[in-house]
Structure 1
Amino acid sequence: MTAETASTRLPATGVPRLARGVRLRHDEARGQWVLLAPERVLQPDPVAVEILKRVDGERSIDAIIDDLIAAFSVERGRVAADVDAFLAGLAEKGMVEVGP
């Protein structure tokens, strides 16, 4: 999937939230973050964790991108492509929902 495809599917003004039953949790025993969903456990990498921490059902995709740019001083195009592709992948799996 390309970032262009993801951008088309997930509007920049859309507000992502974790789907019902999906939770981001820090596993103290393993010392890492996990994304828990019914019958699934994903171990997101550090970049994915930073994105997921901002998926709160209130911030738009654009706001998440702006926050990541401010926090990590990275180029907008790359961040936007990564966020779009990541969230689109989770949306395909039913782990993220994007509303108006």
Structure 2
Amino acid sequence: MTPTRRHDVPLTAASVPALWRLARLDFDPVRQQRVLLYPEGVVLLNNTGGAILELCDGHRSVAEIAGILNDTYHCDVTADVIEYLSGLVERDLVRAE
């Protein structure tokens, strides 16, 4: 089963992302790496990807997530966050309202 497609609505700074209901973040002890698990597979995450997805709680907007990460990385990552999450929306692993 795949989630409902929301590709027709572009992700913006005002969008509020959350993981698809059947996806979850986890840590793979064998790979020593954060992963995004879903019924059909797994996505290996780098530190930045994991940090972005940890903040996707269905309450914070993309702008709020980017603001937190801007402070962490001391640079403007808004465009990168939008691009990363847009790719996951296209793969139906993240939904955005």
What TM-score, normalized to structure 2?
0.85
Indicate the RMSD between aligned Cα atoms, in angstroms: 1.3
1:52 Cα shift? Answer: 0.9
**What is the match of residue 3 of structure 1?**
none
Deviation track 1:18-38 (CA, whole Å, cap 9, x = no partner) reads: 011000101223321011011
**What is the match of residue 55 of structure 2?**
54
Structure 2: which 5+ residue stretches go unaligned? Answer: 1-8
Identity, % of aligned positions: 38
Q: What is the rounded CA distance, in whole Å, between the counterparts of 2:83 and 2:73 in structure 1?
A: 19
Q: What SS class does the counterpart of residue 9 from structure 1 fall into?
A: coil
Q: What is the rounded CA distance, in whole Å, between the counterparts of 2:32 and 2:12 in structure 1?
A: 34
How many residue pairs end up in the alignment?
89
Q: What is the rounded CA distance, in whole Å, between the counterparts of 1:65 and 1:49 in structure 2?
A: 13
| Runs of at least 4 residues off by over 6 Å | none
1:69 Cα shift? Answer: 0.7
Deviation track 1:26-80 (CA, whole Å, cap 9, x = no partner) reads: 1223321011011110101121111111111111000000000111211x2xx11
**What is the match of residue 93 of structure 2?**
95
Q: Which amino acid aligns with 1:97?
A: R
